Structure 1
Amino acid sequence: MHQALLQTDLPLPLTARGKVRDILAVSDRELLFVATDRISAFDHVLGSGIPDKGKVLTQLSLFWFEHLREIVPNHLITSDVARYPSPLPEYAKQLQGRSMLVKRAEMFPVECVVRGYISGSGWKDYQKTGMICGIPLPKGLRESDRLPEPIFTPAAKNNVGHDENISFEDVIQVVGRDTANQLRDLTLAIYAKASAHAESKGLILADTKFEFGVIDGAITLADEVLTPDSSRYWPADLYSPGGAQPSFDKQYVRDYLESIHWNKQAPAPALPEEVIVNTRAKYLEAYQRITGNPLEA
């Protein structure tokens, strides 16, 4: 098992360091996205990384960019490190398999969330109000039930804490009605195609979120796409509504942290080897099931 890459060391200006990604400025029109092996839970980056996690996230995004290109353009220029501008090819050990050279986009301040099943924060909203993001739902739904049809449940991007669920009218206020309609329709179209593919691989895509921006006047899909960090994948053969489902996301790590009664305050704990190994296996299995191929080292 490879050692986890927790932080990049590259000769470029760092424009953002997220919980997982380091984003670096290549030029006024290009960025370098590098997915590290950091893992977060409960809004904290943990003291241990998950080896190869960043490669899974990047290579899954590349798979989905190609699978969805007839629906929406994306921001990818290349993921071939040999084609990166000098001197980046010299840093191939850090970049290979986990980086993308992308076009800069003017990003919308909205997370475009779509739900086909009721889970997570959507389940909590439904229990309180009978709605999700202002959308009324049938009475008597159980946790993890399939919804009558997929719904667009956007969230406002917050730099601190969890993103905040908002209504479609709120999106209109932020980006305008025409753009809001386009974002909703694209989100639902992508989900339809992606969930059909997932189903063919024995997986349920319960919900996911996308980020869009504008490049050369066109709405463009950006950032990570349909990864276990941004999506809730369930094994279809184990699906049993009425409670939480086995998942390919970070729930295994969250369950461990709950078991040790961490107070969810800094500093975040490190993970034991068993949790690291099992979490890595979950990410690798998700990649192999979705793409049909083993992860490229």
Structure 2
Amino acid sequence: MTLLPAPTQLAGWRHIYSGKVRDLYTPADGSDAHLLVVASNRVSAFDHVLEPPIPGKGALLTALSNWWFARIDLPNHLVAEESDAPAVPAEVADRAMLTRRLEMYPIECVVRGALTGSGFAEYQRTGAVCGIELPSGLDDGDLLDRPIFTPAYKAPLGEHDENITFERSVELVGPEAAAALRDASLQIFTAARDLAAGRGVVLADTKFELGRDPLTGALVLADEVLTSDSSRYWDASAYHDAARSRQDRLASFDKQIVRNWLSEHWDRAGAPPALPDEIVAKTYDRYRELYVRLTGDEPPVAPVAI
């Protein structure tokens, strides 16, 4: 995997972790009630962080998460800046979320409203997804009669997440927590799918991260939510156009442009090539198009290289 760039040093905050696309900070004074989650402009594919980054991506996805948080009927991890946490540094304010610490569940809460991706591959092998039997004869991209909860176990750093059955999630977190994760995930997905449909977008699948508030015990929605990086969205008019190819019908509002270009120009040996400016611009435009479709507004911040 490509080495990550050195994290940005932020006054009042101490860097504690970097993932492929996000950096985490804790208050420099040693308190542990809050976290600063900073979305970078990095883009990853095939287990590599690529160059160059996508200018404006971090701010756009942060804005989309915040838009969804305001419309989801479940407590979330966001904290108002006027609390006792350190102020968010100005240099990352447009792509940072000030959050409270939670006891995170070791389960990635995946909900599928369509059969595609790894779910379709598993269905082809077994006729089921995460132990859920599905009707025979389904094809890639087919919408399901009702969304299904297909959890994954969060693997240790450097390893791949493992798709699991609901019964396995019960073993990991207990029956009450597993049921709460499933029910909340399905409820959020259903409401989001219906909202997106009204704006000409098909929400095919998504993944949620949920935790427990250590003070109240409440279930809390965390991380990013319903963004292009955590969800698969399709253009509804293209999806329902039978005259189009399957590839065009299932073109998602995410970094698929990057994956396609890499597949044509890289054999996955050695370091990946740098992305051309045209691919960078097209990828940002695809992210932006989804934001505009869903919110009805332009992104709050114009892209600036970081």
Q: SS state of the match for residue 209, structure 2?
A: strand
Structure 2 partner of 1:57: 61
In 1, Cα distance between equivalents of 2:281 and 2:192: 28
Where does 1:1-297 land on structure 2 (aligned, <5 Å)?
7-11=7-11, 12-26=13-27, 27-68=31-72, 71-78=73-80, 85-86=85-86, 88=87, 91-92=89-90, 94-158=91-155, 159-215=157-213, 216=215, 217-240=217-240, 243-244=246-247, 245-263=250-268, 265=269, 267-297=271-301
In 2, Cα distance between equivalents of 1:230 and 1:52: 17
In 2, Cα distance between equivalents of 1:262 and 1:32: 37
Q: Which runs of 5+ in 2 are unaligned?
A: 302-306
Deviation at 1:269, TM superposition (A): 2.7
Q: TM-score, normalised by structure 2?
A: 0.88
In 1, Cα distance between equivalents of 2:276 and 2:57: 16
Q: Which runs of 5+ in 1 are unaligned?
A: none
Check the 8 A contact 1:6/1:37 in 2, yes or no: no
Q: How many residues align?
A: 285
The amino acid across from 1:100 in the alignment is M
Q: TM-score, normalised by structure 1?
A: 0.91
Deviation at 1:288, TM superposition (A): 1.0
Q: SS state of the match for residue 77, structure 1?
A: coil
The amino acid across from 1:278 in the alignment is K
CA shift digits 1:183-215 (9 cap, x unpaired): 000000000110011001100000000000011
Q: What percentage of residue pairs aligned between the two structures are identical?
A: 47
The amino acid across from 2:219 in the alignment is I
The amino acid across from 2:58 in the alignment is G
CA shift digits 1:138-193 (9 cap, x unpaired): 00001000112100000111222432211001100000011100100000000011
Q: 1:37 to 1:176 in 2, by over 3 A?
A: same
Q: SS state of the match for residue 271, structure 2?
A: coil
Check the 8 A contact 1:43/1:162 in 2, yes or no: no
Q: 1:235 to 1:190 in 2, by over 3 A?
A: same
Q: SS state of the match for residue 94, structure 2?
A: coil
The amino acid across from 1:238 in the alignment is A
Deviation at 1:129, TM superposition (A): 0.5
Q: CA RMSD in A?
A: 1.9
Deviation at 1:219, TM superposition (A): 0.8
